[in-house]
Amino acid sequence: MVVDDTIANLKLLETILARRGYRVRSFPRGRLALAAAAIEPPDLILLDINMPEMNGYEICARLKADPLLAPIPVIFISALNDMLDKVKAFGCGAVDYIGKPFQIEEILARVENHLNLRRLQLELVQHNARLDELVSMKTRQLAEAHERLSILDQAKNDFLMLISHELRTPLNGLFGVAELLFATYPANSCNAELLDIFKESQNRLLRLIEDALLLTEMEVDSASFAPMKLPLPPMLGKVLALAQELAQERKVALPLLPPELPMVSGDDKLFERAMRVVLETAVKFAAPGQEVTLDWVETAGTVWLNIRTPGQNVPASLMPNFFDVLASSQRVLPGGELGLGLPMAKRIFSLFGGCLTVENLTPPGLKFTMQFEKGSPASTN
């Protein structure tokens, strides 16, 4: 769009631009130009300053006040070459200023440059709009996926909770009947062996239910497990005593309780349960005649308790998923799978800001590391 009250200038600019391939609309008055721009906004406006009715500054100001027309670049073409006139032009929103008399090459070069800039701006706006639309779509998809996962997760938790609770009644009946039947059998080595198998299966199934129930409770209501400052020595001493029977059965030596251990933050019952699982797992990996060792490291806010057991490594293919619930049924020991104990133990430590890790050793063996948040300065047993 060209706006100039001098008809000769309008005709000249229109001819120059049309020959270059531009579609040009010419107006001798600002009022007409504003009305036409509102109906069909141009890509660029060439604007004279000195005109009757409405000068170029006022026209430019009105253009910039209209949100629809404000982005259109305005180039002033004027015989006013004083610096103050140019400053005023840029102050009201112009992007360029060409003095009269002008050179055709200069007009064409500046028009082309500003049209290219305008085209790039529009492309950027369109690109950002597409990005916003894509982000909105992905956000909706993620929200829908999260909602589906939440429903599935809740269904899983409800199922585990239901199974854990509802299995107890029929199992108690089965166990009771089986024990009555065993009581009627004659005492001999064959029946004693069957009774031992039954007792082992019974204990294993009950532990599995207890672990599944605790895992579900921690997933559903983790906020109910409030941390407390706890001394490690009594907890670890109790765990060593509870694991002694399994260690003696497998002819594995357990470590002595360290004389001095720091306070940690957590829940004593849950920590005892988790540490017992880790210690008994270490015993299961040890060969007869070997010894499980224990050491600890303390920093300003963290305590690491390390349990090392010689014997065998975990297969490299199983190590990344060693603590996963779905990996609990994989056989990593000659005697079978490890159950839900380790996933439960890892969840207990993470519930209180800690961690449980495992790594293979050379010579063959395992190192379990239990990480605790420190509770207070060290205390002596």
| pLDDT tens readout for residues 81-118 | 788 888 999 999 999 999 888 888 999 999 999 999 98
Q: Give the integer Cα–Cα distance in Å for 294 and 307.
A: 5
CA-wise closest residue to 203 among 171, 231, 163: 171
Q: Give the domain 225-380 fold.
A: Heat Shock Protein 90 (3.30.565)
**pLDDT at residue 378 greater than cutoff 50:** no
Tell me which of 276 and 220 has the higher pLDDT.
276
Spatial contact of 24 and 18, defined as CB atoms under 8 Å apart: yes
Residue located via tokens 């495992």 = 358
**Pairwise CA distance, residues 86 & 99, whole Å:** 10
- Name the residue ranges covered by the structural domains of the chain: 2-122, 167-220, 225-380
Distance CA 91, CA 74 (A): 12
Instruction: Tell me the H-state helices in the chain.
Output: 7-19, 30-39, 56-65, 83-91, 104-166, 168-184, 189-220, 232-242, 244-249, 268-285, 341-351
Reduce the DSSP state of residue 46 to 3 states and report it.
strand
Residue 115 pLDDT: 93
Mean pLDDT of 143-149: 85
The pLDDT of residue 371: 94
Q: What is the mean pLDDT of residues 52-56?
A: 90
pLDDT of residue 158: 72
- What integer is the mean pLDDT of 162-166? 66
Contact (Cβ atoms closer than 8 angstroms) between residue 246 and residue 283: yes
pLDDT at 377: 44
Q: Indicate if the pLDDT at residue 331 is higher than 60.
A: no
295-313 mean pLDDT: 90
Q: Is the pLDDT of residue 335 over 50?
A: no
pTM, whole model, 2 decimals? Answer: 0.50
Residue pair 97/86 in contact (Cβ under 8 Å)? The answer is yes
Burial of 357 (0-12, 13-18, 19+ CB in 10 A): middle
Calpha distance 305→369 (Å, rounded): 6
Q: Dihedral, CA atoms, 15, 19, 20, 26, nearest 10 degrees?
A: 30
pLDDT beyond 90 at 308: yes
Superfamily of domain 2-122: Response regulator (3.40.50.2300)
Amino acid at 324: D
| CB contact set of 3 (below 8 Å; sequence gap of 6+) | 26, 27, 28, 29, 30, 33, 45, 46, 47, 48, 51, 56, 59
* Nearest-angstrom CA–CA distance, 345 and 323: 9
Domain pair 2-122 / 225-380, same fold: no
Chain mean pLDDT for the chain: 85
pLDDT surpassing 90 at residue 305 = yes
pLDDT digits (tens, 9 = 90+) for 230-267: 888 899 999 999 999 999 999 999 998 887 888 899 88
- Quick check: 376 pLDDT over 70? no
Residues 332, 320: Cα–Cα separation, whole Å: 13
For the segment 6-44, what is each residue's pLDDT rounded down to a tens digit? 999 899 999 999 999 999 999 999 999 999 999 999 999
Half-sphere exposure of 83 (CA within 13 A, CB side): 0
Phi, psi of 306, deg, nearest 5: -105, 130
